[in-house]
Amino acid sequence: MSTAQRTEPASGPPPVSGPVRGAGRPLALRLVARPEVGVFLGALAVMVFFLVAAPTLRQGDSMATVLYQCSTIGLMALPVALLMIGGEFDLSSGVAVITSALTASMLSYQLTVNVWTGVLVSLVLSLAIGAFNGWMVVRTGLPSFLVTLGTFLILQGVNLAVTKLVTGNVATDDISDMDGFGQAKAVFASSVDIGGVQVKITVFYWLAFAALATWVLLRTKYGNWIFAVGGSKESARAVGVRVDFTKITLFMLVSFGAWFVGMHNLFAFNTVQSGEGVGQELIYIAAAVIGGCLLTGGSGSAIGPVFGAFMFGMVNQGIVFAGWNPDWFKAFLGVMLLGAVLINLWVQRTATRR
């Protein structure tokens, strides 16, 4: 597959052009062969399909709703994708979102301090969880699937038990009347008026982070290291890539994302249910894979998962806008996703043949 092209360059200048093998082919074909272009076409197809099927989707504020759903998935799909390029998984990412939200909420409420204190402590804790995941993986050499499955279960239990212990209930107390809440809400969960359409701020963060991640991947040494450690750890180490550092920071990046989305959840909904978040990790991974990240690591992009998350959110909301029989909802979702991925694959195959 053409997607393996990223594995060879371990260090040195980052590769700028498309597939090396297909250098002689026309530009259009070379473009289409890139995984993120394939998923872009898939996402476009899904969008056009629903725009035709669901008239109410054509309004600006309906699109804003769709984009909001996409952004909360996409914000996490980004670091998850980077981690996958680096050759690792994080199954704890879904519940880590809730852990950070719970921490910030309970700390602020229990100590009656400005919510920003909770926000910062929660950031420290989240990064520590990420560092722990990374450190365990690097130190033991165990598959990250196992290590983070452990953290996933631990966090799930701790979320529930500590919330119960601290608040006496399974949900945190409403913090919306505390100092700093307004500011934090403005930062994490406000809306921006664009031509009369209220667009949630997460959409902008999502796109900005995606741009930043693309730049890091393609233009920095660290980006190169990510591809290198995901391709082959040994050869990466041989050419002087700091493998352990790269992997640990990637895990910390995921927990940073979890913190960010957790803060959004907290300031958008005022309280946090301790049992939430389970199963979300698979949605993040799905968005990254649909976006062209290889399950085996070493290949992918930051822009692909943006389209992956968009496709997922679009299908999710599109079915509602289309007013289809909701009993079939999950089945529709599965068929649409599978169809989109198949189109993506077919486009790539056709484009890279000859």
Partner 1 sequence: MDRSSRSRSRRLAPVVAVAAAAALTLAGCSSDSGGKKAAEGGSGAPAGKAGTPRMTVALVTHQAPGDTFWDIVRKGAEAAAAKDNIKLVYSADPSAGTQANLVQNAVDQKVDGIALTLAKPGAMKDVVARANLAKIPVVGLNSGLSDWKKLGLLQFFGQDESVAGEALGKKLNEVGAKRIVCVIHEQGNVGLTQRCDGVRKTFSGKTETLYVNGTDRPSVQSTITAKLKQDSSLDHVVTLGAPFALTAVQSVADAGGKAKVATFDLNKDLTGAVKKGTIEFAVDQQPYLQGYLAVDSLWLYKNNGNYSGGGEQPVLTGPAFVDKSNVDRVAEFAAKGTR
Q: Does 65 bind partner 1 (CB under 8 A)?
A: yes
Q: How many residues belong to the chain?
A: 354
Cα separations (Å) of 139 from 25, 39, 136, 142, 243?
44, 36, 5, 8, 11
CB of 186 to partner 1, least distance (A): 16
Taking CB under 8 A as the binding criterion, the range among 23-31, 41-49, 57-65, 231-239 that sits at the site for partner 1 is: 57-65
Give the footprint of partner 1 on residues 93-152 (CB under 8 A).
103, 106-107, 109-112, 121, 124-125, 127-128, 131-132, 135, 139
**Residue 17 beta carbon to partner 1: minimum distance, rounded to whole angstroms:** 34
Contact criterion met (CB below 8 Å) for 136 and 147: yes
**CB under 8 A: which stretch of 10-18, 60-68, 203-211, 344-352 binds partner 1?**
60-68
**3-class DSSP state of 192:** strand
Q: Determine which residue in the list 114, 183, 235, 270 makes contact with partner 1, applying CB under 8 A.
A: 270
Nearer to partner 1, 108 or 214 (CB): 108
Contacts made by residues 157-163, CB under 8 angstroms, sequence distance 24+: 158/99, 159/95, 159/98, 159/99, 159/102, 159/274, 159/275, 159/277, 160/274, 160/275, 162/102, 162/106, 163/102, 163/106, 163/274
Q: How many CB atoms lie within 10 A of CB 353?
A: 8
Residue type for position 29: L
Name the residue with tokens 């895990």.
251
Whole-angstrom distance, CA of residue 261 vs CA of residue 277: 11
β-strand 197-200 against 191-194: which pairing, if any?
Answer: antiparallel
Query: Based on CB atoms, which residue is closest to partner 1, 92 or 103?
Result: 103
Under the criterion CB under 8 A, does residue 187 sit at the interface with partner 1?
no
Q: How is residue 324 annotated by DSSP?
A: -
**Which residues have a Cβ under 8 Å from the Cβ of 308 and sit 6 or more positions away?**
39, 43, 74, 77, 286, 287, 288, 289, 290, 291, 292
User: Measured from the CB of residue 140, what is the shortest distance to partner 1 in angstroms?
Assistant: 13
Size of the site for partner 1 (CB under 8 A): 71
Per-residue x/- marks for partner 1, 198-217, CB under 8 A? x-------------------
Nearer to partner 1, 329 or 346 (CB): 329
Nearest CB to partner 1, comparing residues 82 and 248: 248
Report the nearest approach of partner 1 to the CB of residue 196 (Å).
Answer: 11
Phi, psi dihedral angles at 291 (to 5 degrees)? -75, 10
Using CB under 8 A, pick the residue from 2, 3, 5, 72 that binds partner 1: 72
Residues within window 275-294 making contact with partner 1, judged by CB under 8 A: 275-280
Question: Binders of partner 1 among 314-333, rule CB under 8 A?
Answer: 316-317, 320-323, 326-327, 329-330
Exposed (0-12), middle (13-18) or buried (19+): which is 51, by Cβ within 10 Å? Answer: middle
Binding positions for partner 1, 226-245, rule CB under 8 A = 244-245
Find the angle CA(131)-CA(134)-CA(137) to the nearest 5 degrees.
145
User: Shortest approach of partner 1 to residue 183 CB, angstroms?
Assistant: 19
- Among the residue ranges 25-33, 34-42, 59-67, 287-295, the one whose residues contact partner 1 (CB under 8 A): 59-67
> For 189, which DSSP code?
S
Q: Which is nearer to partner 1, 201 or 294 (CB)?
A: 201
Touching partner 1, residues 9-48 (CB under 8 A): none
Q: Tell me: does residue 196 bind partner 1 (CB under 8 A).
A: no
